[in-house]
Chains A and B, each alone.
Chain A
Amino acid sequence: MKAPTIKNDIFVMLIFSAVILSMPVWLEPLGASYPDLLQKFAIFGIFAVGYNILFGLTGYLSFGHAAFLGVGSYTAVWSFKLLTMNIFPAIIFSVLLSGLFALLIGFITLRRSGIYFSILTLAFAQMFYNLAYSVLTPITNGETGLQLARTDPRVIDRLFSEAGEGLPSTDFFGLAMSGYSGFYVCAVILIFAFFISQRIFHSPFGVKLRAIKSNQTRMKYTGYSTRPYLLTAFVISGMYAGLAGGLMAATDPLAGAERMQWTASGEVVLMTILGGVGTLIGPLLGVGIIKYFENIFSALNEQGLHQAYAFMPDWLANIMVPMTSPFVGEGWHLTLGSLFVLIVVFLPGGIMEGINMFKKLFSKKTSEPDFKPIKKKTTPETVK
């Protein structure tokens, strides 16, 4: 439980950046290195990293973060329609507007804690979802979803060029947002988002948030006004969600209300818990696993299974295929559900807990120095 040093943090950031940027390479053997999925990994990664700042640090379980995702998406598409196809202003607006919404919603919902807070956030998200289908249709275009059109004004783009034939596509100062370049833009933003999250986790502010989770009563009698802390965390995580929503629209310029449904809020909760609540990397692992299952496992069919079992004798493969086929294809939810149950029951701290247990086991066998009593060296000058 030693405080991480800055050197350590920089080291982690370097490794992290390398791992994220080389994703197209090392995901190749897993069959998950196509740009569409890579973009999803990065975007949901941002969403989960931000969500973890609220849920992981303060313990406040929000069931409404999809609303901010939706706000971010709609804002970005409007920016594409009215201003320019460059995603830069779109993302800035997404973050700002979702932050504003988070401020309003957080101000109201943070008056309660525990289950009541969760229910209030859920209520707000469902309200947004239903409004998007009803009274807000002029802004959201209802069930069809908000789309680009040739006739959109796009005033900034018009300054430089005439409207071309067909729909324009999004870019980041000339870098196309589709394909691998789109992934790299998202990945760089994810690295930046992760960096901010790491700073928050290791700042005095982050430790105070953790203290609120640990014992809010003590915090109050220790001289802290806890609500501004909670509200700040709520707004920051709302802005992360807005950023993710904006990027979703950037990679695929279409915003629909289904993005704001409660299942989308639930998904990010699952991702965070699966990976490890309150750990830096955990939520990203959760994202990786859930998105991988959703996209790869769901595409497996019986034929794929036969191929996977090709190394077995035929009779065994013939038994294994019917036994495992309910878990793939349409049944991928079953696999994910079982995995989730197993992890929550046996590793309440998520995959990260498992990794840490493994690490401990490993270090016990190889090196003893870990168990030396703490020397004064690690503590600043205390003895006079």
Chain B
Amino acid sequence: MSNIILEIDNVQKSFGGLKALSDLNLKIEEGKVHAIIGPNGAGKSTMLNVCIGQLAPDSGTVTFNGENMIGKAPHEINQAGISRVFQTPEIFPDLSLLQNVMIPAFAKHEGAFKMNIFRSLSNEHNIQDEACQILEDIGLIGQLHSIAGSLSRGDKRRLELAMCLVQHPKLLLLDEPTAGMARHDTNKTIDLLMKIKEGGMTKIIIEHDMHVVFSVADHISVLAQGTIIASGTPDEIRGNPKVQEAYLGGAHL
């Protein structure tokens, strides 16, 4: 049994009368790819939002690497080692691809604030090399100096993934990394995810595409109505009647 890197303990969150998360408990093992699946509105994204400090839960705790993350600012949580790929790509549309990736790399190396007014960006060779390496891996190196806003949606997603990977986070949260991608691009993303899997980075991946889920996940949890209804290896989940009910004709479909 390896280390538990992230522990979500009894987290509750409601929006008005709607209970988005109720008694959510989840343990993520270090070095594993953990997929979260569940029908629309199950609270998957809300869960990630709580993890990165975007939302404060009504009650419960989120412990990362033995440290309580509740009440911390988003940048502190990122500095602690959690990066997130959003459902709609959050990139810097006005900057070049290279700059888009260099900025997270700076955050990793220099921390939350550094006033280096008299250093020249073009002299930051280490950061540049690092950014180029990631862009190479992700297949966007040819557009190094294009403006990120001009990329296609699929490329924006991959760029955002590159921005997270360059930080070498301890935990990477992926919110539907292949949504809206063509099959070809999806396969490329799967390959990429498999590649970074070898690096031992812990990942939580939210995904609707079962092909992706069963290709990359070590462990799957099923979220429905704000709580985990099943958890196990891909094979266990595939045969679980509760999951089949939630997905294929449960009360709330």
Say whether A223 contacts B104, CB under 8 Å: yes
**What are the interface flags for B118-153 relative to A under an 8 Å C-beta threshold, 1 for contact and 0 otherwise?**
111111110111001101100001111111000000
Q: For B27, what are the chain A residues with a Cβ–Cβ distance below 8 Å?
A: none
Say whether B115 contacts A382, CB under 8 Å: no
A293 to B117 Cα, complex, angstroms: 35
Contact of A217 among B90, B96, B112 (CB under 8 A): B90
Output the least CB separation between A6 and chain B (Å): 6
| Contact stretch, chosen from B74-82, B185-193, B215-223 | B74-82
Q: For B91, what are the chain A residues with a Cβ–Cβ distance below 8 Å?
A: 215, 218
Query: What are 10 A-B contacts with C-beta separation under 8 Å?
Result: A1-B146, A3-B99, A5-B122, A203-B119, A207-B95, A214-B94, A222-B107, A222-B167, A226-B75, A374-B145
For the complex with contacts A3-B122, A222-B83, 4 further pairs of A-B residues with Cβ separation under 8 Å are A210-B99, A211-B95, A218-B90, A222-B167
Q: Check if A379 is an interface residue, CB within 8 A of chain B.
A: yes
Contact of B95 among A205, A210, A221, A232 (CB under 8 A): A210
Interface of A is mostly: helix
The residue of chain B having its C-beta at the shortest distance from the C-beta of A381 within the complex is B129
Q: Check if A373 is an interface residue, CB within 8 A of chain B.
A: yes
Say whether A203 contacts B121, CB under 8 Å: yes
Q: Check if A321 is an interface residue, CB within 8 A of chain B.
A: no
Say whether B92 contacts A221, CB under 8 Å: no
Given contacts A214-B94, A222-B163, contact A204 B119 (CB under 8 A): yes
Q: Which residues of B, 176-195, contact A by the 8 Å Cβ criterion? A: none
A88 to B147 Cα, complex, angstroms: 44
The residue of chain B having its C-beta at the shortest distance from the C-beta of A373 within the complex is B142
A8 to B166 Cα, complex, angstroms: 29
Q: Check if B15 is an interface residue, CB within 8 A of chain A.
A: no
Q: Check if A383 is an interface residue, CB within 8 A of chain B.
A: yes
Output the least CB separation between B56 and chain A (Å): 15
Say whether A229 contacts B141, CB under 8 Å: no
Instruction: Determine which residue in B110, B120, B125 has the highest number of CB atoms from chain A within 10 A of its CB, and name it.
Output: B120
Say whether A382 contacts B132, CB under 8 Å: yes
Mark A residues whose CB is within 8 Å of B: 1-6, 9, 196, 199-200, 202-208, 210-211, 213-215, 217-226, 228-229, 232, 373-374, 378-383
Say whether B103 contacts A222, CB under 8 Å: yes
Contact of B106 among A204, A218, A373 (CB under 8 A): A204
Say whether B103 contacts A211, CB under 8 Å: yes
Output the least CB separation between B71 and chain A (Å): 15
Say whether B94 contacts A213, CB under 8 Å: yes
The residue of chain A having its C-beta at the shortest distance from the C-beta of B111 within the complex is A223
Say whether B75 contacts A220, CB under 8 Å: yes
Say whether A208 contacts B103, CB under 8 Å: yes
Say whether A382 contacts B129, CB under 8 Å: yes
Given contacts A1-B145, A222-B163, A223-B78, contact A214 B73 (CB under 8 A): no
Say whether B112 contacts A223, CB under 8 Å: yes
Say whether B129 contacts A206, CB under 8 Å: no
Output the least CB separation between B117 and chain A (Å): 5
Q: For A211, what are the chain B residues with a Cβ–Cβ distance below 8 Å?
A: 92, 95, 99, 103
The residue of chain A having its C-beta at the shortest distance from the C-beta of B149 within the complex is A214
A204 to B114 Cα, complex, angstroms: 9
A374 to B74 Cα, complex, angstroms: 36
The residue of chain B having its C-beta at the shortest distance from the C-beta of A6 within the complex is B120
Q: For B74, what are the chain A residues with a Cβ–Cβ distance below 8 Å?
A: 220-221
Q: For A228, what are the chain B residues with a Cβ–Cβ distance below 8 Å?
A: 112-113
Q: For B145, what are the chain A residues with a Cβ–Cβ distance below 8 Å?
A: 1-2, 374, 378
A127 to B108 Cα, complex, angstroms: 42
Given contacts A199-B117, A208-B103, A380-B125, contact A3 B98 (CB under 8 A): yes
Output the least CB separation between B211 and chain A (Å): 28
Say whether B132 contacts A221, CB under 8 Å: no
